[in-house]
Amino acid sequence: MSESTPLDLAFAALADPTRRAILARLSKGEATVSELSKPFGLRQPTISKHLRVLEEAGFIRQARDAQRRPRQLVVGGPLKDVDAWIRPFRAQWEGRFDNLDAYLKKMNKPKSKGTRP
- Does any domain span residue 117? no
For 5-24, the pLDDT digits (tens) are: 999 999 999 999 999 999 99
- Does any domain span residue 61? yes
Domain count, the chain: 1
- Does any domain span residue 59? yes
Assign residue 72 the CATH number of its domain. Answer: 1.10.10.10
**40, burial (CB in 10 Å: exposed 0-12, middle 13-18, buried 19+):** middle
- Does any domain span residue 51? yes
pLDDT reading at 1 higher than 50? no
Q: Which residue has the higher pLDDT, 116 or 43?
A: 43
Closest to 10 in 3D by CA, of 74, 60, 46, 54: 54
Please report the pLDDT score of residue 116 as a whole number: 57
Closest to 25 in 3D by CA, of 80, 73, 61: 73
Domain encompassing residue 102: 1-107
Please report the pLDDT score of residue 115 as a whole number: 56
- Does any domain span residue 36? yes
For 75-117, the pLDDT digits (tens) are: 888 999 999 999 999 999 999 999 999 999 999 988 766 555 5
- Does any domain span residue 116? no
Q: Which residue has the higher pLDDT, 9 or 66?
A: 9
Furthest-apart CA pair in the chain: how many Å?
83
- Does any domain span residue 27? yes
- Does any domain span residue 11? yes
pLDDT reading at 28 higher than 80? yes
